[in-house]
Structure 1
Amino acid sequence: MKSDGVLILSHCGFSFAEDLVAACHARGLDAWILTSKPLPEHGASRLAALQGMVEELFVTDAHELSTRDVENAIASLRGRGFCIKGCISVWEGYRALMAYGNALQSVADLPWDRVEQLRDKLHVRLTLKDAGLTNVSAQTLTPAVLEALKHDRGAYFVKPVRGIASYGAFRLTQETTWSALEAVASQAQKDTVYTSVLGTQLTFMAEEYISGTEFSFEVLAVAGTPFVVGIHEKCQLTEGDGTVLENSCTSPPSSLTGDQIAAGLSWIASVLTCLKLDWGCFHIEARFDGYRWGLIEVNPRVGGSLISRSVLALNGTASLLDLWLDQLVFQSDGKPSPDYIRAVAELSYSKEGVAPTDEATFFRVYFASPGRIESIQVEPTEPAPVLTQVLLKEGDEIEPAAREVFIGQILWHMPREQRDRDLTRLLASSATAIAVRYQAAEPRKDSRA
C-alpha cells in the first residue's frame, strides 16, 4: 500500500532537514526531500546522509530550486500513487515555492504572491504605516538619499529590501558610504547560499531607527485566527560589521508585564489582519520602548537558531516545527482539524498575556570571526544545558561576511522562577561556554566566540 507523506524543500541539502524528517516519521508519514545541489564542500557526503533518512530524495543540478523542480517532484510522486499531505520548507527563499506546491495539492496555505509581497520589507513597512500600525518612515536608499540622511543626523537603520540572516543590516552612521553598500551587494552576488534570497541586484532601504527592547513572536495563523505559542526576549544584540547578531534570548519575556504582553498580542493580530496573513507560521520581530510596539520585520517561517526547540522545551508537547507541520497535514478540504485548533489554543498565550506554562528557556548563539579555526571547546555550565550544537569544526576557514556565521548554540530549560532569579548569572556564565581559538600570526591570541 502506498504511504502518505510530506514533500520537504531543502536548500543545498540542509534547512532543518533532520528535524523535519523526524517530525514526518513520528506522524507515520513518509518524508520526501527535494533539494537543490549541495555546495562542493558538502557534496556527496551530504546527499548520502539525506538518502539514508528519507523514503525518496530528489536532487537538482542547480543550487536553487525552481517551480519546475517542485512540479516534477510532485508529478513523480503522484504518478506512483503517493498522497502528498503537504509541502514544507523552513528556508525563507523557498517559502513561496512551498506555497506553490501546497496550492497544487489543494492544501490551505498563503498564496504565492502574498508570500512574495511579504518578503518585500519596504512594501510591508509602507503598508503598515498607511494602516496606522507603525509610525516609522522608510524609503529606498540611493546615493543621494544616503547623503541626505547622514546630513540630517537622524537615527536610521539600513537593510536589504529582500534580506535574510541579518545580511547587510546595520545602523546608519556618518561613516556609512555608498561604496560600502556596493561591497555588501557584491559579496551577496558571490554567496551561493544566499543569492537565491537576496537576488542578483541587491536594493537597500533606510528606515527610522526603532528603539526599545527586541522580542520575537512565534505565531501560527490558522484560517485567519492567530495563535502565539512563544515570545522570546532578545537579551543581547550586537550591531556592527555590516550585520546585527542576536546573541541570546529568553522566553517568556523577563522585562514585560502581562498588560504589555497583551498589548503586543493585540497589535500582532492587527498586523496579521492588515497584511492578510491568514495561514502559516511566522517569526515576527518587534521592539517595545515602554509605550508602543514597533515592527522590525515579519518572517513567513519558523524562527532560526533554537526558536523551534525552545517552544518544545516551554510546552513539553510540540516544537514550532511540529505545530506548523500539523497545520498542513491535519486539515480537510482546506479547513483545519478541530483537534488541531484545540491543541494549538492550549499551547498559546491567552489574550490577557498569560503564558501557557510556568516553564522558561534561555539560549545563546555563538558567532564566528574571520579566520581559520584551530580548536573548539565546550565548557560546562550550571545549570547544565538541555541541548548543545556545535556547527563548525577545527580547520574551518571563516571568510569575512556581512551576515551571521554560526559556530554553535546552546539551550537551557528551567522553571520560570529559577530563570528570573538566575538570568543575570546565566548571561555571564554562558558567554564563554563555547570557546574558540583561531590560528593567527604572532603573537597568537585566544578569541572567545
Structure 2
Amino acid sequence: MHKQHTGGGILLLSHVGYSFVEDLASALGARGLRTFVLSSRPEPAHTGRLDELRHLADDVTATDAHVLTHRDVEHCLADLHRRGETVLACVTVWEGYRHLMSFANEALGVSDLGEKQILALRDKLTLRNRLFEAGLTRVRAAELTPASLAAHQALDGRYFVKPVSGIASYGAFPLGPGTTWADIERITAESRDDTVYASAFGDDGLTFLVEDYLPGREFSFEVVVTDGAAHVVALHEKCEVTETAGTVLENACTSPPVSVTAAERAAGIAWVRRLLTELDLRWGCFHIEARYEDSHWDLIEINPRVGGSLISHSTRELTGGASLLDLWIDALLAKPGDGFRERLAALSYTADGRTPTQNATFFRVFFAEKGRIASVRVSEELPLPPVVTHLLLKAGDTVDATAREVFLGQLLWRYPRDEADRLFPELARASAHAIDIQYERQDEGGPR
C-alpha cells in the first residue's frame, strides 16, 4: 500500500506529450496526489495527444515548441503557485529533460542531484575518461573526428562509436572497417530532423566519441539512491542484444540474471556503489548499463533516470508491487523517520548478491522495420500468458528507416524464480515470434 499524501501534487515534464505520463499519473493517483503536466508541443501526427493528457492530469500546460526550456519550467511553477497549487516535486523520465527536473527540484527545495551533475553524467566522453583515471573502467574514449576515425580503423583492436550525449542507442554501433565519415554525417543529419530525439543530444547537436569495445554479457542495475545510500532494486540481464550498422537493439531481458552467480552479482553491486561514490551521486534513480566478462564488471553508461521499455514494469513484478517509478516518486517525497528507506532496503539486493524476491521476469521488445504495416497481432501459442502487453504500432502506420530503434511492441512475463530453469528458455524461444507483424508489399500493396 502506498503512503497517502494530501494537499499537493507533482509536476511531470513530458516530451512531445509522452514520457510515461500514464504510468506516472496512475502512481500519483494511488498516493492521493494531483498530477500537473508540462509538455512540449506534440508532433503533427499526434495533435490529439494534449486532449488525452487533459483526461489523465489535473492540470496540463503545453508550450509552442517541441522542446521544453528552463523558462518554460519557471513559468509553469510560478503559474501553478499563483493559482494556489502546491507542487511537492518534479519528475521526468525523458533524459533530455533530466537537468530541468533537477532545476525544478532545487527551486522546490527537494533533495535531488544538481543540474551540473546531470549534465556531467550526460557527457559520456568526459565521464568515461574520468572513470578510467579513477580505475573504475578499463575503457578509454576519444572525440570522433575524421582523423580519429581513420586512426582507430588502422589499429588492431575493437572499438565502439556512440553519441557524446545520446539516448535509446541512437547512432551507437561497433566501428567497422567500412565505416566512413559520410556515415557519421548521415546520422547527424537525420538527428537534426528528428523531432522526438533532437533535444536529447545537447545544445551543440549530435557529436560522437569512439571508445574501446566492451566484450561480455550485458546487464543493467536499477538503483535508487537516498542521501548517499545506494540500493540495487533489480538487476536485469540483456539476454539478446543485436548490434546493427546504425544502432543497438536490446531485444530481451530477464531478472534475476541467469548467467552470473550471487558472488558475481555482489561484486557488481560493490562496483556500482564505488561508481556512485566517485561521482558523488547521492540522490536519484539510475539505470546503470554494464558488461561482465572474465570476473570483471565494466561500464556502458550511467543513466540518471528510470530505464526505458518495461524495466519499471519488470521491477514492479519482481518486488510484488513497487515499480521503479513508484520508488523514485517515494524517494523524492520521503521524510526522515517515515520508513521509506527501510522499505527500500527490504526490496533490494543484499550486499552478498541475494535478492529477497521469489519472482522472476522475462520481457521482450519488438522493433519495426521500414515499411507500411498491414497487420499486427499477439500470438496465443505461448507457454505462459504475458502480464503486460503493449502494442505501440498498428495497421496503417508507416515506419521510416532511421539510426534509432523504432518500437513495435513489448511483452512481459512473471513466473516463480524456482521455475526459471524451465520457463526462461521456453519463453526466450517461444516469444521470439510472439508479435506477428505483416507489411504491405510496395509493388502490389498487399502484405509481405
Normalising by structure 2, we get a TM-score of: 0.96
Match of 1:288 in 2: 292
Distance change >3 Å, CA 233–CA 445, structure 1 → 2: farther
1:194 to 194, 197, 212: 197
- Please state how far the C-alpha of 1:219 moved relative to its aligned partner: 0.2
Match of 1:126 in 2: 129
Match of 1:59 in 2: 62
**What's the CA shift string for 1:77-133, capped at 9, x where partnerless?**
112222211000000000000000000000000000100000011111011111100
- Please state how far the C-alpha of 1:247 moved relative to its aligned partner: 0.2
- Please state how far the C-alpha of 1:422 moved relative to its aligned partner: 2.3
Match of 2:8 in 1: 4
- 8 Å CA contact retained: 2:284, 2:304: yes
Query: Runs of 5+ in structure 1 lacking a partner?
Result: none
Q: Give SS of 1:382's match.
A: coil
Q: Distance in 1 between matches of 2:82 and 2:444?
A: 64
- Please state how far the C-alpha of 1:441 moved relative to its aligned partner: 3.4
- Please state how far the C-alpha of 1:317 moved relative to its aligned partner: 2.5
1:113 to 106, 116, 126: 116
Amino acid paired to 1:374? A
Alignment of 1:157 onto 2:160 = yes
Amino acid paired to 1:424? P
Alignment of 1:427 onto 2:447 = no
Q: Distance in 2 between matches of 1:443 and 1:42?
A: 29
Amino acid paired to 1:226? A
Match of 2:173 in 1: 170
Q: Distance in 2 between matches of 1:29 and 1:425?
A: 41
Q: Distance in 2 between matches of 1:271 and 1:204?
A: 23
Q: Distance in 2 between matches of 1:338 and 1:28?
A: 17
Amino acid paired to 1:352? D
Match of 1:349 in 2: 349
- Please state how far the C-alpha of 1:330 moved relative to its aligned partner: 2.3
Q: Distance in 2 between matches of 1:201 and 1:50?
A: 29
Q: Give SS of 2:265's match.
A: helix
- Please state how far the C-alpha of 1:354 moved relative to its aligned partner: 0.2
Distance change >3 Å, CA 254–CA 443, structure 1 → 2: farther
Query: Runs of 5+ in structure 2 lacking a partner?
Result: 1-5
Distance change >3 Å, CA 444–CA 418, structure 1 → 2: farther
Q: Which moved more, 1:426-435 or 1:77-86?
A: 77-86
- Please state how far the C-alpha of 1:445 moved relative to its aligned partner: 9.1
1:32 to 31, 36, 44: 36
Match of 2:401 in 1: 400
Match of 1:19 in 2: 23
Q: Distance in 2 between matches of 1:386 and 1:284?
A: 25
Match of 1:268 in 2: 272
Alignment of 1:207 onto 2:211 = yes
2:96 to 93, 97, 113: 93
1:179 to 160, 173, 182: 182
Normalising by structure 1, we get a TM-score of: 0.96
- Please state how far the C-alpha of 1:337 moved relative to its aligned partner: 4.7
- 8 Å CA contact retained: 2:441, 2:447: no
RMSD of equivalent CA atoms: 1.3
Percent identity between the aligned chains? Answer: 50
- 8 Å CA contact retained: 2:366, 2:408: yes
Match of 1:102 in 2: 105
2:232 to 228, 233, 241: 228
**What's the CA shift string for 1:417-446, capped at 9, x where partnerless?**
222222222111000000111112358897
Match of 2:3 in 1: none
Q: Distance in 1 between matches of 2:233 and 2:68?
A: 31
- Please state how far the C-alpha of 1:244 moved relative to its aligned partner: 0.3
- 8 Å CA contact retained: 2:440, 2:447: no
